[in-house]
């Protein structure tokens, strides 16, 4: 089911899902030739999503490169495209929490740069993650959010994909009238598009659930030639599976076997172990009802083997999820360390500037031949210089101190106390010498001023 949902997202957002290997190879050739960074970002995102259903873990590496490059060149459109691609890839792997996180980050950027198409795509990705988690009510909340946006963009592809997914959510919730309404709307919007076959399959499933078997069969049969013409194995598998379910409900087991085999052949061509296991299980049930034991055992064995393969793949996926989560954690940690280092560097620069300014003021006051300064001002500036100097030293030695003491608060406090014990006497000595020099300078300035005053008085008395 995950694949059929994703067909729509990719059909109007990034790439088609069939012929993915050939597409990945052709995109890699384009990447080798492309020199412009912005186009390279978009190509990396497309290459990554071309591995969506085959090897999503490989796709992650390409998209992460694109994300890093987009952030380095500050290319916002490329950044949210890569974030949405990471959301889709994580969704396929089964890491829904990370998928939602990436889509939310993409949404913030799209809102900041006012890219409405990006907003719709981000919300669609969030809703899709909830849908795959089978939290259909939460998925519907997001679909309702983006439906008015898609309508304002007047994009039939967007609306068709949204309403197709909404119909599926209502179908899984058992709200068949609502499901039928949205599937009919989606079909009306997809008459001339790639999603027509899937819309017909969903209409068939809805009518089957409503026990309208003849109507359902009509939709299924309309969808089969469309899916074959479009090479859409996604929709074709769902169509055959739907017809199988319909005949099973009608207890027509010979027809079940016929369409079960078609479902299996299509699933095998598509290469999805989940779909193959489901088709084998369907055939086992049909042969068992017809009391054909040999064939029933054959498909039971095939279903078991395929399910074992699926379980193995799920285990590998879980390991990949854990590895990816650890890689993400390390990347976040490195980013935090980088930010902390930049802040520390900036703080050191500010502290150095402050020390420089204070020293300049003190030198200016010492060297000035006309300014008389109070000793209290020298003491104030001295205390200020002491505090800034202590902070400056602390900023410089903190990483080394933290490493050598293993972040032990007691040891770090002892080292800082020792530094303080060395700085305070030095501060007192320097302050004392500066005040002595300032007092001498002030005395000299006052004596010079007194001499000038006496000379002026003597000149006046001589003139009299």
Name the nearest CA neighbour of 2 among 459, 438, 462, 317: 317
User: What's the pLDDT tens digit per position in 336-345?
Assistant: 878 888 887 8
Q: Which residues contact 405 (CB under 8 A, 6 or more apart)?
A: 411, 412, 415
Residue 316: the pLDDT is 58
Whether the pLDDT of residue 250 is over 70: the answer is: yes
Give me the chain's average pLDDT, please. Answer: 78
Give the CA count within 13 Å in the CB-facing half-sphere of 415: 15
Are the C-beta atoms of 27 and 39 separated by less than 8 Å? no
Residue 245: the pLDDT is 87
Q: From CA 355, how far away is CA 389, in angstroms rounded?
A: 7
In this prediction, residues 29-45 reach a mean pLDDT of 74
pLDDT band at 32 (very low <50, low <70, confident <90, very high): low
- Residue 17 phi, psi dihedral angles, 5° rounding: -95, -10
Residue 238: the pLDDT is 85
User: What's the pLDDT tens digit per position in 291-335?
Assistant: 777 776 776 677 676 665 555 555 555 655 556 666 666 777 777
Q: From CA 464, how far away is CA 453, in angstroms rounded?
A: 17
What's the distance, CA 369 to chain centroid?
64
pTM of the model: 0.60
In this prediction, residues 90-113 reach a mean pLDDT of 87
DSSP state of 261: H
Residue 310: the pLDDT is 53
Residue 92: the pLDDT is 78
Q: From CA 218, how far away is CA 189, in angstroms rounded?
A: 19
- Residue 361 phi, psi dihedral angles, 5° rounding: -65, -45
Between 438 and 46, residue with greater pLDDT: 46
Token duo for residue 228: 């074959």
Between 300 and 72, residue with greater pLDDT: 72
């Amino acid at each position: 089911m995950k694949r059929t949902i994703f067909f729509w997202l990719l059909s109007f957002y990034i790439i088609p899902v069939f012929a993915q290997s050939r597409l990945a190879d052709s995109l890699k050739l384009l990447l080798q030739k492309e020199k412009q960074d912005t186009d390279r970002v978009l190509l990396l995102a497309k290459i990554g999503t071309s591995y969506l259903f085959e090897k999503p873990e490989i796709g992650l590496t390409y998209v992460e490169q694109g994300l890093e490059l987009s952030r380095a060149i500050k290319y916002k459109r490329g950044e949210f495209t890569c974030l949405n691609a990471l959301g889709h890839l994580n969704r396929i792997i089964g890491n829904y929490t990370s998928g939602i996180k990436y889509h939310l980050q993409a949404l913030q950027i799209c809102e900041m740069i006012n890219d409405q198409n990006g907003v719709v795509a981000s919300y669609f990705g969030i809703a899709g993650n909830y849908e795959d988690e089978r939290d259909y009510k939460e998925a519907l909340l997001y679909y309702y959010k983006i439906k008015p946006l898609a309508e304002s963009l007047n994009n039939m592809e967007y609306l068709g994909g949204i309403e197709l997914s909404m119909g599926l959510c209502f179908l899984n919730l058992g709200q068949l009238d609502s499901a039928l309404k949205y599937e009919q709307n989606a079909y009306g919007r997809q008459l001339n598009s790639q999603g027509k076959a899937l819309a017909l399959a969903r209409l068939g499933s809805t009518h089957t659930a409503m026990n309208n078997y003849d109507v359902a069969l009509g939709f299924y049969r309309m969808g089969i030639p469309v899916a074959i013409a479009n090479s859409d194995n996604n929709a074709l598998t769902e169509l055959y599976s739907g017809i199988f379910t319909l005949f099973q409900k009608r207890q027509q087991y010979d027809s079940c076997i016929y369409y079960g085999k078609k479902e299996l052949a299509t699933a095998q061509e598509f290469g999805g172990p989940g779909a193959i296991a489901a088709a084998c299980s369907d055939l086992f049930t049909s042969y068992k009802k017809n009391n054909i034991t040999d064939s029933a055992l054959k498909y039971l064995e095939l279903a078991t083997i395929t399910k074992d393969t699926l379980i193995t793949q799920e285990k590998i996926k879980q390991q990949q999820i854990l590895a990816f989560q650890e890689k993400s954690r390390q990347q976040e940690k490195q980013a935090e360390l980088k930010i902390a280092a930049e802040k520390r560097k900036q703080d050191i620069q500010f502290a150095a500037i402050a020390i420089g300014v204070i020293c300049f003021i003190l030198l200016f006051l010492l060297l000035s031949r006309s300014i008389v300064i109070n000793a209290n001002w020298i003491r104030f500036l001295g205390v200020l210089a002491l505090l800034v100097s202590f902070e400056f030293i602390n900023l410089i030695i903190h990483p080394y101190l933290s490493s050598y003491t293993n972040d032990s608060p007691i040891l770090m406090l002892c080292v800082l106390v020792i530094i303080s014990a060395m700085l305070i006497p030095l501060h007192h000595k320097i302050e004392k010498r500066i005040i002595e020099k300032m007092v001498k300078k002030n005395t000299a300035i006052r004596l010079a001023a007194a001499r000038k005053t006496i000379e002026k008085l003597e000149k006046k008395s001589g003139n009299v």
